[in-house]
Structure 1
């Protein structure tokens, strides 16, 4: 059985809240379309009723009918009331789509450029505030049960996102990111700096090595001008300067293990005996 750490439970919990947020936004999207269709039908019926009341004043009696709103709708009975009511529903639908895209995390470059508060670099507080505003805007009108339930759940999820934004602040979206979680599991190599620095430093080192190799070959072709350039910008090599550069780039340089060549005699070996030659005199 797989065991999760504290960050694993946080990852699962934040993604559950994100799933609930997407579901409530989809419900709000669907309920707004249903309400908009019902409002259009009610406005058409109200217009027919007003035309009929022109010849017979007893057809439209404000003591019987609610003259402040169109009967059976959320449209106010005022100049351009139907236009503003339909525009309100269209804005709610548009905001629901934008929030769903923000929760999915696509496209992240679009949100970073045009809506930074909904991008990956911000927390969940702004998202929760917008959800609460949408829920309150729907709950402030007399709507059907479907819209009422969808708006109530959206307001509750918005309050939960505000709470999570206060707890985790800007790290909330990075903690719940699925791609970031996978990269965190794959990142097992020891690095002294952050994860994003080595890629940039590796490209810089490769570019530096390429320039140095080109400058070292250039003197044989172009003469002393390129020779002076190669001398003024020498390569790091394999010495202490190269080691410092690698450590700044985030790599760990380990010293090789010391080894004794095979031809080196052992320090405890006894010296070989000396051979002495005696020469005898021929006149002995």
Structure 2
């Protein structure tokens, strides 16, 4: 049975996969919508050249027929620019959900980086979905945008719950690091353990000059070695003043007796 952290990890990654799927659907629908808009504008231009009556009927509408292009000055430009911005935003969201390149997002666009939670991601998804749903689009774009908007609302709720730790809790690398920190260190073999335990006692270790460690440090205690190392680094260790406890009577000076 998994710990609660495991269920949180699985649930957040399911939402992550659904977010990537929704972004891919919106990306595909935006490309299809852009192609349809360009074809509709091209049809309008051809109608103006050949049939003025048909062109006047098409220009009498608020939008170009069978498109999301508004019938206003430079409407084609703004419609295509809007779709291009949506496509670039969707690509950024997909890369952020995949986690590559995370260093780029942490440095240049930290809202989608690892230091922020899922709330900003959900807000951007809701904005993109609302921008698409505010136009008259076909069924494919309508379903994709509504799916993205729903997942954006879910990511906002998850961001409020987990705060800035949302992306950390669903990260695969952090899960592996946590698993390594929980597992005990590997147990050495009995032979190596025995050699490690009894090696310094029964084996003679020699330094570069060929002397045994016992001969090298003979006559020096632990305090003496520490004092030598401190002296090499420029520190002076002063010995404490010898003092007797209060309950011990002080030694009286002996008075010589004169005969």
**Paired position in structure 1 for 2:41:** 43
So what's the TM-score if we normalise by structure 1? 0.64
User: How far apart are residue 229 of structure 1 and its match?
Assistant: 8.0
**Paired position in structure 2 for 1:172:** 166
2:182 is paired with a residue whose SS is coil
* Pairing 1:224-243 to 2, within 5 Å after superposition: 230-232=232-234
Contact preservation (8 Å) 2:118, 2:159: yes
**Paired position in structure 1 for 2:50:** 52
Tell me how large the CA RMSD over aligned residues is.
2.0
Question: What does the per-residue CA deviation read over 1:44-85, in whole Å, with 9 as the maximum and x for residues that have no partner?
Answer: 0011112224xx4x33344x7752211100001111111111
**Paired position in structure 2 for 1:21:** 19
CA distance in 1, matches of 2:80, 2:231: 71
**Paired position in structure 2 for 1:30:** 28
Q: Please state if 1:134 is matched with 2:128.
A: yes
**Paired position in structure 1 for 2:98:** 104
CA distance in 1, matches of 2:70, 2:27: 22
* Pairing 1:118-129 to 2, within 5 Å after superposition: 118-129=112-123
CA distance in 2, matches of 1:138, 1:27: 13
* Runs of 4+, deviation exceeding 2 Å: 58-62, 64-67, 227-231
1:232 is paired with a residue whose SS is coil
* Pairing 1:145-184 to 2, within 5 Å after superposition: 145-184=139-178
**Paired position in structure 2 for 1:10:** 8
Specify every segment of 5 or more residues in structure 2 that has no aligned partner in the other structure, as ranges. Answer: 185-228, 237-259
CA distance in 2, matches of 1:70, 1:178: 48
Question: Using a 3 Å threshold, how does the CA distance of structure 1 residues 189 and 152 change in structure 2: closer, same or farther?
Answer: closer
Number of residue pairs aligned between Structure 1 and Structure 2: 192
* Pairing 1:260-275 to 2, within 5 Å after superposition: none
Specify every segment of 5 or more residues in structure 1 that has no aligned partner in the other structure, as ranges. Answer: 191-226, 235-284
CA distance in 1, matches of 2:107, 2:235: 39
